Amino acid sequence: MSDTQQRVERRFHGVGVSPGIARGTVFVLRPEDEEAPSRRIEDWEVPGEVARFEAALLQTREQIVEMQNRIAGAIGAKDASIFDAHLLVVEDRTLIDEVLRTLDRDQYNIEYIFQQVANRYAKTLSEIDDPYLRERALDINDVCRRVVRNLMGKDPRSASQIDVPHILVAHNLTPSDTAQLNRKLVLGFATDVGSRTSHTAIMARSLNIPAVVALHNVSDSLLSGDHVLLDGYSGLLIVNPSDQTLWEYGELEVKKTEVEDKLEALRETVSTTLDGRHITLSANIELPSDIDLVKQSGAEGIGLYRTEFFYINKNELPNEEEQYENYLAVAKEIPDQSVIIRTLDLGGDKFMSALQLPSELNPFLGWRAIRFCLERVDVFKTQLRAILRASALGNIRMMFPMISGVDELRRANAVLEECRQELREKGIPFNEHMEVGAMIEVPSAALVADLLAKEVDFFSIGTNDLIQYTIAVDRINERIAHLYEPTHPAIIRLIKMIVNAAHAHNLWVGVCGEMAGEIALTPLLVGLGVDELSTGAALVPRVKRAVQSLDIGVCLQLVDEVKNMESAEAILEKCEAIAKAHYPELMV
Ligand code: PEP
Ligand code: MG
């Protein structure tokens, strides 16, 4: 490619899922499961292949030790110790001898031989009914990829190896990949697939990293080292931005900074409408470290702590003590405000290797969240005891995810009561009056909200799942993202039903799905009677400004106008018109 061709601006259009603008050099994360190429070799080539193999094992060893040291420094020696198992793989004599024997016998290039032998070895271990050996199979797969990449002279898969600021480009990032991103080095990320309500996108907003998804084949079109501008507002990735583009974005950033500065001034103010209705405005967190942004945001507490991120990226389940300390530490950071801890919501798009969750055809409809917890009562009770104990000293409430009906909620409450009883018997303190809520995110729960209301203290509406289950639109599938419509008339009716049921039983009701942070929809949610909105910390000031600019009369009238409308698009237009009329500066 010539120099002039290289500088031609190219634009890729996707979906902006985390606002902000990033400029920098790309690092392309290639798919993990690459097949090593195969090539027959001659006798005389064997010693050279052996030497390459030894060098790759050494290089891999150094990379693992380096990563282990870095993680020990950043998170702690305990988490870094998971790499001990990886080191054992590069030193495994049985595996190495088998590779050398096969090389001598079959005479193919070493990366091909190594991949075949390591895969066979891992497969044998994974078929043995022993969790320890199955875990070793995962380690072998991980290390095998690394060795093959080293043999092939490719970039390491792990973005965490890049120690200069970069924009990460990948086909896909899992929530656990995203949780490990180094916010100081990852200026932004862009993926081929993905959607607004995937946990990867939610995570990016929490980390305040600009992100664009659904860019189709961007990861195949870019090379590490390309210069790009990433626009997380409009969902654009611009390669080799021209001087004109850079100037325009410079102007845009100035405008956005002015708005942000004004929003910052709202930190100490309350989210009350012009006519005095207070809407509690809380923040969602995924990691304890998100709390700093929450404190800066002017939120009134934590409306959703997604505790599953404490479980993923770990080889072992967190024990009761670790969880207790974690929950209490979060609560102590905001002693005058409450933290709503959501019990474990694994499954769907969030997995944990230590639990060996089976792969399912429809994971979002499968063994997820409360369904998993009610079967793995041991795991559930460990968490419940930790939450209860933390409630003795911290201002804590808790809620169950994915409740689908009364029986399920009663079973969850019964397990909670067992834990209370165990603590009482041992004389361990906890708050007997800790509020317990149910997330309403399954349509069946919305339809029986009046019955569920008798069993809990509050509801929190998980619109991300409520929308996906009601309209039958997979929330992480970018192909059908256009069908994922928060203003679908069915969603509006369900929210109204939930709010009515809650209020009839004197319960408060919040929204903690991404809809709570969509300022175009604030008039709708306030008009529907929601008492609390909980959103990513970065969005809190905007939602506060929106609430402060509205009055209840306008919101009620909006609900009245849209309640019999048929089209989600037309309803959205109405909402946007109100938003633009009341807070135009936020709607640019
Ligand atoms: C939701 O479903 O709206 C929700 C808040 O939970 P999650 O996004 O973690 O599934
Ligand atoms: Mg949910």
pLDDT above 50 for 278: yes
Greatest alpha-carbon pair distance for the chain in Å reads 87
Catalytic residue among 86, 166, 171, 199: 199
**Sheet of strand 236-239, all strands in order from the earlier edge strand to the far edge:** 10-13, 236-239, 227-231, 21-29, 166-170, 186-191, 211-213, 15-18
Which domains occur in the chain, in start order? Answer: 3-32+158-242 (3.50.30.10), 43-152 (1.10.274.10), 273-539+561-586 (3.20.20.60)
**Which ligand has an atom closest to residue 463 CA?**
1
Residue 25: per-residue pLDDT: 93
DSSP per residue, 233-290 = TTTEEEES--HHHHHHHHHHHHHHHHHHHHHHTTTTS--B-TTS-B-EEEEEESSGGG
Asked if residues 547 and 281 have their Cβ atoms less than 8 Å apart, the reply is yes
Which residues share a beta bridge with 10?
Answer: 239
**Comparing C-alpha atoms, which of 444, 498, 440, 446 is closest to residue 464?**
440
Give the HSE-up count for residue 248: Cα atoms under 13 Å, Cβ half-sphere. Answer: 8
Mean pLDDT of 503-518: 98
Catalytic residue among 419, 512, 555, 575: 512
Burial code (b: 16+ CB inside 10 Å, e: under 16) for 26-65 equals bbbbbeeeeebeeeebeeeeeeebeebbeebbebbbebbe
**Which ligand has an atom closest to residue 284 CA?**
1
Give me ligand 2 centre to Cα 535, in Å: 13
Which residues share a beta bridge with 362?
Answer: none
Q: Which H or E run contains 398?
A: strand 396-400
Highest average pLDDT, of 22-31, 35-44, 468-477, comes from 468-477
Residue 519: per-residue pLDDT: 97
Pocket test for ligand 1, best of 345, 464, 535 (most atoms within 8 A of CB): 464
Does the beta carbon of 306 sit less than 6 angstroms from any atom of ligand 1? Answer: yes
Q: Are strands 227-231 and 236-239 parallel, antiparallel or unpaired?
A: antiparallel
Q: For this structure, is 555 an active site residue? A: no
Residue 108: per-residue pLDDT: 93
Atom 8 of ligand 1, nearest CA residue:
464
What's the rounded Cα separation, in Å, for the pair 494 and 403? 15
Which residues share a beta bridge with 511?
Answer: 461, 533
Asked if residues 586 and 518 have their Cβ atoms less than 8 Å apart, the reply is no
Range with the poorest average pLDDT among 20-34, 399-413, 521-535: 20-34
Atom 4 of ligand 1, nearest CA residue:
462
Give me ligand 1 centre to Cα 401, in Å: 8
Burial (CB count within 10 angstroms: exposed 0-12, middle 13-18, buried 19+), residue 254: exposed
Highest average pLDDT, of 45-49, 66-70, 314-318, comes from 45-49
pTM summary value: 0.79
Q: For this structure, is 199 an active site residue? A: yes
pLDDT above 70 covers what percent of the chain?
Answer: 93
Mean pLDDT of 373-392: 97
Highest average pLDDT, of 41-50, 52-61, 175-184, 526-535, comes from 526-535
What's the rounded Cα separation, in Å, for the pair 327 and 553? 40
